[in-house]
Amino acid sequence: MFVTVEGVEGAGKSTLVAALAEALRARGADLVVTREPGGTPLGERVRALVLDPRESIDPLAEALLMAASRAQLVGAVIRPALERGAFVLCDRFWDASVAYQGYGRGLGAGPVIELNRVATRDLSPDLTLLLDLPQEEALRRMRSRNGELDRVELESVAFHRRVAEGYADLAQRFAQRIVILDARLAPEALAAQALAEIDRRGGARGAAR
């Protein structure tokens, strides 16, 4: 089963991914945990480049770089793992490109989806957990975080609003695949809901071996 976690900055994706990974490993699942952009040596170099605040990147170039990192990750990691029956958990996937490059940068959902069909050879997650957070809370969490903000995080409030709208539209468009979870829940409650959703679709049982 292929599960992705999505959401705006500060929604708590990394915490949820770590909690899910622990729970699935405890069940003995053959689990592959990865992230985007990144997840392969090439992808991690792309990540450093696209998130570097000193770079100025054309929106289409940005979408193509994200897609290049994704193509490498799908080819080298995700597809081989799925083919051997492993459970793959990925921190962001092509929904992020639709939200950030399609809506945030204004490239449009259609072209970005098309580009990613090519980049992934038509691979979509079986389940996407979308962490939903009101924008004020998301901005507050992002700004109160330790460490420097990356190039995308440094974007305007209007940009982040468009990204959130993008995710909301995606959730409507792919209602079978995308499940919205309330990111204001306590981390344990959020992980329990996410796990229940995975179980409901038979994924964790399928991955246990």
The answer to whether residue 162 forms part of the interface with ligand TMP (CB under 6 A) is no
Q: Enumerate residues 53-92 that contact ligand TMP by CB under 6 A.
A: 66, 92
Which among 53-61, 96-104, 121-129, 185-193 is the span making contact with ligand TMP, rule CB under 6 A?
96-104
**Shortest distance in whole angstroms from residue 198 CB to ligand TMP:** 20
Q: Enumerate residues 10-29 that contact ligand TMP by CB under 6 A.
A: 13
Burial class of residue 118 (count of CB atoms within 10 Å of its CB; 0-12, 13-18, 19+) = exposed
The residues, any chain, with a CB within 8 Å of residue 65's CB and separated by 6 or more, are: 37, 46, 49, 50, 57
Angle at CA of residue 155, ends 154 and 159, nearest 5°: 150
Contacting ligand TMP (CB under 6 A), which of 3, 115, 152, 183?
A: 152
Distance (Å, whole) CA 98 – CA 23: 29
- How many residues bind to ligand TMP according to rule CB under 6 A? 13
- The b-or-e profile of 124-160 (16+ CB within 10 A means b, else e) is ebbbbbbbbbeeeebbebbeeeeeeeebbbebeeebb
Contacting ligand TMP (CB under 6 A), which of 36, 132, 162, 207?
A: 36
Contacting ligand TMP (CB under 6 A), which of 96, 107, 183, 190?
A: 96
Nearer to ligand TMP by Cβ, of 121 and 209: the residue is 121
Point out which residues bind ligand TMP (CB under 6 A): 9, 13, 36-37, 51, 66, 92, 96-97, 100-101, 152-153
